[in-house]
Structure 1
Amino acid sequence: MIATLDDAARLLRPAAHLGIVSRPLYLLPLLRAGALTALLSSEAADAGWAERFGVELHSLEEHTLSRDGGPGGPGLDGVTARLAGLVGARWRGRELRLAGYGGQRGHWTAAVEATGARLLVPPPVPDHEVLVDKTAMRGWFDHLGVPAPASTVVSGRPDHRALRDRFGAVFVAQSPRGSGGNGTHLVRSAEEAAALPERERWLVSEYVGDTAINVHGFVGVDGLPQVLRPSLQLIGVEAAGAGFGQYAGCDFGAPERLSPVAVRRCLDATERIGWALAGLGYRGVFGADFVLRDDHALALEINCRMQGSSWLLGETELERGDGRLPTPVRHVLERHGVPTLGKPDPDRADGVQLTVRHTGAPARAVRVPEAGAYVLREGALVRRGDAAGLLECGPGETVLVNLPPAGTLVRPGAVLARLVTRSPLTAPDGRTLTAGGRGLVDALHRLYSFGVSGTEG
């Protein structure tokens, strides 16, 4: 049973692990633990990470100098397709264990093995529709006695006139598969419904509000679920460039400012979901998303993988300084069949991340800020020193991470930076920036300069 970081290091470091992830930030706790030998990603890591964490890094972005707001899969396809040329014969004869953010694709394994290395992948996630399809999840929640928004499935294009009698003039239409809020639309009129693309299936739900909570859970190889920390999901933060339903970050301190009855109901529902996932054979970390309405909590979906907030959860756990394993490290170990000992931490955690996206036309980033810890002085962000995440964030500081390299063509929706801090950046609804949050976002934009129409001229 692996119980501490020291135990994990003794096991992980001799066994080479390969991280495959859309953004290196998502595996930061694994990098801090010295668990990774190499990392493949869609987006480039911030400057200095290879030397700081002693890891071999390869990204598609460093070759294309282009960043968009789409899913990471295509970018990972691009870097794995180049892999043999990038590593040459250095990996020949090596055995690498996969440390992935989500699932893995067969052609990624084939690309690694084409270098002469052998990639050991964990058992696949159980093949159940309720783990990947939002429409199946809603029926599953009902079976478990977990409340969820009223919903229906339609084909073609949602008919506003037919649906408004059931859900009211405003409702939500979603692609049954997707993450990060991609494919989610707020429909307020017949015109907006008509503008949606035709699909074989749309999941249409009542609109119940915007305050969303995510709760991390964990199912160990022993089949026992644990409920971990909740966080307020920052969703559709327009001032940070996020559209309706789009993930824009999280706040681990914010649940204390919300209805304690509703938060408790989220935790109880997550435990019930965890027991059900264990029964399906799922092992590892998962996340459950809820929307709050007064004192009620309605389940939206589950994510059976690490999430965009899992790295920050790991940072809050590492900050305890007691040597216990952060959840992302536990996930990789348990997915490979190694039992770990984890203990939920009920103490408050002040960790916030806000994703700021590019909203203009495609443009070449001529001037880009340097990653690190900053302080806001007289409306300007002033760099204080090197920092990779929350662990280096001092009082009153904000850490800038996940920045595009200078010279990158930044497309609409692409990440300009993530702001990591200890103080709230939004109101309790998770959508509206506070004055301080607005000041940070405005100051961040002033650190960038762009070429015209995607050029440097």
Structure 2
Amino acid sequence: MTKRAIDAIRGALAERRLVWFGIRGEDGEALLQIPELEASYSIIAPLRSGRLREESNVALEQISRRRPDLDRYDIDLDPHPSAREFSARLMREVSGRCVMMTYRPSRLISELAFSMSDTMTLAGLFKDRQQAFEYKPWVETALAARGILGLDWRYVADQHLGRAQRMVAGGRPHILRASRTSGGVGIALAETEADVERLWRQDPDSFVAVAPFLDPTVPINFSGVVFDDGSVRLHPASVQLIGIPSCTQRRFGYCGNDFSAIKTLGDDVLAQVDAMGRAIGEWLHEERYRGVFGVDALVDGGAVRFVEINARFQGSSAPSAEIAHALDVPDLFLDHLNAALGGQPTDSGQTIAEWTASQPDLAHVVLHNTTGADLVRDPDVPLSPRSRGVRLAQLPEAGVPLADGAAICRVTLDRSVTESGFALDEPAERLVADLRRAFVSA
């Protein structure tokens, strides 16, 4: 089945080179299946492949000699010479006939697509169009009108802060959230009236979304791809790892995904996830969205509640593709590229329940710098996990400082690591502690 998808993509490429632009180059590993892939540009973690020429496999951190916190970094706002050099190299790369595929749109890529339109075709949406789908109040309101169960957000103006304080006055914690967030940045938990005033954000929107904090819940994530004919192919679901203190300093920070733990949630929950994904894909198609999307949700008792759409690839995308490869079915990278080039799905796809029943055990954990200061790898401490079935990725080069909040590495394991999504089991915690010993203050 994978071969049919690759053949369709190669036909649509029409002998044009394929260029990958990711926030992490390694996320594009699935694209190595396509012979036309000739270049990878990224913010961190260049794509691991001897097939690409060194000058066409570039990460900004190699030029700047620093790894940023990706949840706060935006290349469109970076004034440093290293960012300008990176952009100039990318412009030279697309001066020949090519198709560019991105992890997420940016102003830089939109500008290249317009200014280099004689040679470069963008396989995806322009930033200004995609950005609408990152605006959570619009998305939540539209999906609620279609009957999709959400979190009962209330949008409170800055001038009405007292209204939010009254919501927590009864002792029930509430979530405060900005209209655009990433990786847990822009989300806070208010347990008292004083917390509300301390945490209130002054955003350009002049309002904050407020909702009751639901506990206990299980955070989940899945992906899909919308095609031009309205078809929606869904991809594996996982229990999302959120706010684990050994991995992130953020209360709701993203720490990875457990594709094994999803198997414990039951058939009814999986059916709800599937129905939600297809309904969201249908709405996206009506709004002229094409390509990959991700969904975060919460399992609250027996109900699945929508949290947010990620109108792009996600941190779960690379392991999701690994699962698809193991089953010889098209992964979401192939599906996205096919959809973005105007193609149709090469098969009918699988339900969430079918994915869950067949997918191998797999989890990945993302470690972040939680020290409040820059870290570097200690060359005298070996990075060799003692456990079998453990693989490391996205490691920085020796001597490259990691900013506070930056990703240290990603650990992939051939087993489950969590039950709740908010804590790791003991072997995984020991592994995280061992890996942290290899990083010291810069």
Output the TM-score relative to the length of structure 2: 0.86
Query: Is the 1:173–1:204 contact (alpha carbons within 8 Å) kept by the matching residues of 2?
Result: yes
In the alignment, the residues of structure 2 paired with residue 307 and residue 75 of structure 1 have an alpha-carbon distance, to the nearest angstrom, of: 18
- Residue in 1 aligned with 2:284? 277
- Residue in 1 aligned with 2:267? 260
Report matched runs for 1:5-16 at 5 Å: 5-9=6-10, 12=13, 14-16=15-17
1:238 paired residue among 221, 236, 245 = 245
Task: Tell me the CA shift for residue 9 of structure 1.
Answer: 4.9
2:85 paired residue among 37, 61, 82 = 82
Question: CA, structure 1 residues 371+154, in 2 after alignment: closer, same or farther (shift >3 Å)?
Answer: farther
Task: Tell me the CA shift for residue 188 of structure 1.
Answer: 1.2
In the alignment, the residues of structure 2 paired with residue 50 and residue 76 of structure 1 have an alpha-carbon distance, to the nearest angstrom, of: 27
1:298 paired residue among 294, 298, 305 = 305
Gapped regions of structure 2 (runs ≥ 5): none
Question: CA, structure 1 residues 188+340, in 2 after alignment: closer, same or farther (shift >3 Å)?
Answer: same
Question: CA, structure 1 residues 108+73, in 2 after alignment: closer, same or farther (shift >3 Å)?
Answer: farther
- Residue in 2 aligned with 1:188? 191
Task: Tell me the CA shift for residue 145 of structure 1.
Answer: 0.7
In the alignment, the residues of structure 2 paired with residue 295 and residue 334 of structure 1 have an alpha-carbon distance, to the nearest angstrom, of: 34
Cα deviations by residue, 1:151-207 (Å, 9 ceiling, x for unpaired): 2011228445322258x5201011111222221111112332222232312111111
Secondary structure, aligned partner of 1:183? strand
Query: Is the 1:13–1:34 contact (alpha carbons within 8 Å) kept by the matching residues of 2?
Result: no
In the alignment, the residues of structure 1 paired with residue 339 and residue 382 of structure 2 have an alpha-carbon distance, to the nearest angstrom, of: 32
In the alignment, the residues of structure 1 paired with residue 94 and residue 392 of structure 2 have an alpha-carbon distance, to the nearest angstrom, of: 37
- Residue in 1 aligned with 2:374? 363
Task: Tell me the CA shift for residue 73 of structure 1.
Answer: 5.6
In the alignment, the residues of structure 1 paired with residue 96 and residue 117 of structure 2 have an alpha-carbon distance, to the nearest angstrom, of: 7
- Residue in 1 aligned with 2:19? 18
- Does 1:27 pair with 2:28? yes
Secondary structure, aligned partner of 2:168? helix
Task: Tell me the CA shift for residue 93 of structure 1.
Answer: 4.8
In the alignment, the residues of structure 2 paired with residue 99 and residue 337 of structure 1 have an alpha-carbon distance, to the nearest angstrom, of: 14
In the alignment, the residues of structure 2 paired with residue 317 and residue 438 of structure 1 have an alpha-carbon distance, to the nearest angstrom, of: 28
Query: Is the 2:20–2:102 contact (alpha carbons within 8 Å) kept by the matching residues of 1?
Result: yes
More moved, 73-82 vs 303-312: 73-82
Secondary structure, aligned partner of 2:180? coil
Query: Is the 2:175–2:189 contact (alpha carbons within 8 Å) kept by the matching residues of 1?
Result: yes
- Residue in 1 aligned with 2:133? 131
Gapped regions of structure 1 (runs ≥ 5): 378-395
- Residue in 2 aligned with 1:380? none
- Does 1:441 pair with 2:432? yes
Task: Tell me the CA shift for residue 236 of structure 1.
Answer: 0.9
Secondary structure, aligned partner of 2:154? strand
Task: Give the letter for the 1:204 counterpart.
Answer: V
Aligned length: 424
Task: Tell me the CA shift for residue 23 of structure 1.
Answer: 0.9
More moved, 128-137 vs 141-150: 128-137
- Does 1:431 pair with 2:422? yes
- Does 1:171 pair with 2:177? no
In the alignment, the residues of structure 2 paired with residue 249 and residue 172 of structure 1 have an alpha-carbon distance, to the nearest angstrom, of: 21
Report matched runs for 1:37-48 at 5 Å: 37-45=38-46
In the alignment, the residues of structure 2 paired with residue 42 and residue 313 of structure 1 have an alpha-carbon distance, to the nearest angstrom, of: 21
- Residue in 2 aligned with 1:325? 330
Query: Is the 1:20–1:101 contact (alpha carbons within 8 Å) kept by the matching residues of 2?
Result: yes
Query: Is the 1:235–1:248 contact (alpha carbons within 8 Å) kept by the matching residues of 2?
Result: yes
2:319 paired residue among 293, 312, 315 = 312
Task: Tell me the CA shift for residue 431 of structure 1.
Answer: 1.1
In the alignment, the residues of structure 2 paired with residue 268 and residue 60 of structure 1 have an alpha-carbon distance, to the nearest angstrom, of: 40
Output the TM-score relative to the length of structure 1: 0.83
Question: CA, structure 1 residues 31+113, in 2 after alignment: closer, same or farther (shift >3 Å)?
Answer: farther
Question: CA, structure 1 residues 24+93, in 2 after alignment: closer, same or farther (shift >3 Å)?
Answer: closer
More moved, 129-138 vs 75-84: 75-84
Task: Give the letter for the 1:18 counterpart.
Answer: V
Query: Is the 2:368–2:406 contact (alpha carbons within 8 Å) kept by the matching residues of 1?
Result: yes
Query: Is the 1:41–1:76 contact (alpha carbons within 8 Å) kept by the matching residues of 2?
Result: no
Task: Give the letter for the 1:174 counterpart.
Answer: R
